[in-house]
Chains A and B, each alone.
Chain A
Amino acid sequence: MRKLEEKREILYVIRTMDVLMSSGVGLEAAIHTIGTGGYGIISKDFSTVMEKLRSGKSKGLEKEIKVLMSKSESEGYRRLLNTMYNNLTQNTDLIETLRKQGKRMEEDRNEDVNKYIEDLSGVPETLLSIGMIGPIILAIIGLIPQLMSGDLGAFMKLPPASTIQSVVNVGLIATLFGMIMIGLKAHTKDPGL
């Protein structure tokens, strides 16, 4: 969940930092502005960093960014934090790197969305195959004791109706489970627009 939220917000954070720092705002002030809200989980992270710095409990902004790097789950967020860390420790050109990162992240996002659409193209068919063929077969199995009652049932040596009913129940539960598992694909691969 955290990864998805980070992915959703990161591009906006980069754009904001770009605007802020291009117009002369320092890195700490930019972190403070983003920490005031509007950027979901990243705002929360940055506001925690600023609170720690203000309270005097922190060993410095570099250390706090290092902590965030270990906490981050998405590649883009980790890369942004790394750029910030490099700027603090080696005085690198942050604005130029932010622009490049923004461009790259936008390309990644486009690719992710296209891939998501492509990946989900098979979901309806798979879901319908399992969700429809399973119950049809199970319905026929469930009706067998009714359809083959009397002499025909005795001749075929059918298992008791309760056993068939249990098989149908288990089959239906397995079908539901299969549908959930296929549906999970739509959730786990969400590009986070």
Chain B
Amino acid sequence: MIFDFLEAFNDQMLLLILIVLGVAFSAGGIPPIIERNRRRSIENQLPGLLEALSDAVGAGRGIQEAMLEQGRNTPGVLGKLLTETLESSHSSSFDAALSAFASKTRSSQVQRVTVLIETAIEQDAPLQGILSDLSMDYERLNDLMNKRESELQGRGILIIIFVCIGLPVLIAFIVGLFAPANKGYQIGDFNQTFALFFAASSAIASLVSGRMLGRMKDFLWWLPFWMAVSMGLYLGAVKMIGG
């Protein structure tokens, strides 16, 4: 069935290439989504952890002890990573453990916080106040990032759905109904032009959508997929309706 479907587009070399690339690149596009979800879950937990650390340090605990305790009490990836790193750091220094923890999270927020904590410890700065300030800073930053995500995600999806799916199907209906190929209309060149246009407009729509959400590079993986979808939908619908 798949081969029959592909056979129908034998004269559309670009579409066939885009289908193959789209499938391959989509596989590459999934890991960034998983990684981002993981990173954001860590970053959203960070202010809570910092606040708890600030309280513990204020109550007279050492930072290492407080971190180990909070790591055990914090659910999710952040707590797990923190506990694992600190427990496996018996043979190395606390600084090395902190750096290992920061690099394992792969989050720039955690890495910055870790560097600041290390510097504060080195300089013998008041940790309670610094941790409390950092907690509030990162809470506000995460609130902003979450707000941007929630407000713009719907609009981004709307653009992709309309331009990559809605528009090709709509034009295919117009062409298929008013100039069906099975009634002798010569629309080969017309279809070719519009198929290319839909591929290009889908690429633009998907890039704009990605840029709105601040992750255009991740969206690049899905570019061939959306291009293939819009071209395929247009050519498939024209064939289905107009014969």
B189 is an interface residue with CB less than 8 A from chain A:
yes
Q: How far is the CB of A20 from chain B (nearest CB, A)?
A: 6
B-side binding surface: helix, strand, loop or mixed?
helix
Number of interface residues of A (CB under 8 A): 47
Flag if B170 contacts A136 (CB, 8 Å).
yes
Select A124's contact among B140, B159, B185, B197, beta carbons within 8 Å.
B159
**A190 CA / B170 CA spacing, docked (Å):** 33
When each residue 118-152 of chain A gets 1 if its CB lies under 8 Å from chain B and 0 otherwise, what string results?
Answer: 00110110011001100110011011001100000
Q: What are the residues of chain B within 8 A of A146 when measuring CB–CB?
A: 179, 185-187, 190
When each residue 165-199 of chain B gets 1 if its CB lies under 8 Å from chain A and 0 otherwise, what string results?
Answer: 01100110011001100000111011001100100
**A19 CA / B122 CA spacing, docked (Å):** 11
A88 is an interface residue with CB less than 8 A from chain B:
no
Q: How far is the CB of B97 from chain A (nearest CB, A)?
A: 18
A113 is an interface residue with CB less than 8 A from chain B:
yes
Q: What are the residues of chain A within 8 A of B170 when measuring CB–CB?
A: 132, 136
A-side binding surface: helix, strand, loop or mixed?
helix
Among B47-55, B63-71, B76-84, B111-119, the one that faces the other chain is: B111-119
Which residues of B122-166 are within 8 A (CB) of A? 123-126, 130, 133-134, 137, 140-141, 144-145, 147-148, 151-152, 155, 158-159, 162-163, 166
Flag if B124 contacts A143 (CB, 8 Å).
no
A66 is an interface residue with CB less than 8 A from chain B:
no
A106 is an interface residue with CB less than 8 A from chain B:
yes
